[in-house]
Amino acid sequence: MKKLFTATILFISTLSFAQQDVVNLTIKKEGFGKKNKFTIYLDDERLTPDSEGKIIYEGSREIDKVIRGRVIMPNGRYGDFWLEPGDMDVTIKKSGFPKTMEVIGSETDALYKYFKYTKDITQVEKRILEDPEHVASLNYLAGYYKRHSNEFLSKLIDGYSEETQQKLSWITAYVKTSDMKKVAKGTQLYHFTAKTQSGETINTKDFAGKYLLLDFASTGCGPCWQGYPEMIKTVSKYEDLQVLTFNEDNQKETWNKFAKARNLDIKWPVLWDSEEKFEIFEMYEIEGWPSFFLISPEGKVLEEWFGAGKTKLKNALKKHLD
């Protein structure tokens, strides 16, 4: 599942209201048939819209902060909108989605879309510096920081509070590793230390002399889960192969529930925590899940590929280990 930064993307909200207020929300559709072939979320709550008519949702809710809405199409494309107190109208348009999605009544939404769609990066940076802690500023940066220079990002991060810096740790990692040679086929692996959810420390250096398969994944990655049953069968045939899965998120309990529901018995270590977690994912240039790296006993990257298709894994192992 390719990342459209950010799914994940991380939703950062720093704008809270003195007391709970009410948003009166109307959601309409335009250009779709009778059936709603999309899903709508408000924060983590899935809405059940009406299937008939142009207006598919009307409702009020109390909120104490800006909240994010998300529309997800069957092909995985999604569009976000931002809810504030007051009357809000959202129109989901089939043509040109998500850019054409219309939101009336939200200053946060208007500012976020200004950042996202304005081509003049200088103007975007100027506006961000006027209010760097704004919800729109933070969430735009979470997804589109690579549009900006390291100089701008460093200046911005240095001006944030320690708490906000923690929320944007991957931007710091991006700047820190920007001049370093990234891992790719033919290069040496980037060694790292990380921990499993039980607290066991795993160091890639401990597997020198063995073939190593790195699987960069995420709890919310559907293709990852679909691929695990066949992956378990395939790798079990190779005694001289060590597998490590490294999840980019931190949803350990959810991961456990998913694994139990699928009756999966993953024998190899599943990694979650590292002091340089974001640097590791930057060094391996992970832009989607699952991403695989097959590494020789000498530490050389033999193959790299994206996706959970069993053919790629089988072919790579057959080529180098059989």
Helix axes 150-159, 169-177, angle to 10 degrees: 140
Q: Which range is least confidently modeled, 1-10, 106-115, 122-131?
A: 1-10
156 and 230 in one domain? no
206 and 165 in one domain? no
Task: Say how many CA atoms lie within 13 Å of 54 toward its Cβ.
Answer: 6
Summarised one tens digit per residue, pLDDT across range 67-113 is 999 999 988 788 999 999 999 999 999 999 999 999 999 999 999 99
Q: 146, 179, 212: which is the final residue of a domain?
A: 179
260 and 138 in one domain? no
Give the domain extent around 50: 1-179
Secondary structure tally for the chain: helices H, strands E: 10, 15
Any domain includes 184: no
Which residues are CB-contacts of 44 (< 8 A; sequence separation ≥ 6)?
A: none
Coil, strand or helix at 258: helix
Helix runs in 160-283, H state only: 162-167, 169-177, 222-235, 252-261, 277-283
pTM of the model: 0.80
Query: What's the total number of domains in the chain?
Result: 2
163 and 24 in one domain? yes
- Contact between 83 and 53 (Cβ < 8 Å): no
In the numeric block, which tokens belong to residue 64?
């104490």
Residue 52, pLDDT > 80, answer no
164 and 46 in one domain? yes
Any domain includes 296: yes
- Contact between 42 and 106 (Cβ < 8 Å): no
First-to-final CA distance of the chain: 29
What integer pLDDT is reported at residue 2 of this predicted model? 43
Q: Which DSSP state fits 85?
A: S
b (16+ CB within 10 A) / e for 213-237: bbbbbbbbbebbbebbeebeebbee
Q: 155, 179, 203: which is the final residue of a domain?
A: 179
What integer pLDDT is reported at residue 6 of this predicted model? 39
- Contact between 245 and 219 (Cβ < 8 Å): no
- Contact between 171 and 278 (Cβ < 8 Å): no
Mean pLDDT, rounded, for 217-230 = 93
224 and 166 in one domain? no
Any domain includes 263: yes
147 and 272 in one domain? no
Any domain includes 186: no
171 and 26 in one domain? yes
Rounded Cα distance between 119 and 26, Å, is 30
Sorting pLDDT into bands at 50, 70 and 90, what band is 17? low
In the numeric block, which tokens belong to residue 130?
């006027």
What integer pLDDT is reported at residue 11 of this predicted model? 56
Residue that has been written with the tokens 């939404």 in this structure = 109
What integer pLDDT is reported at residue 269 of this predicted model? 98
Whole-number Cα distances in Å, 7 to 123, 220, 278: 26, 9, 16
133 and 259 in one domain? no
Nearest residue to 56 (alpha-carbon basis) of 89, 95, 21: 89
Point out which residues pair with 300 in neighbouring strands.
188
Give the other-Cβ count within 10 Å of 304's Cβ: 19
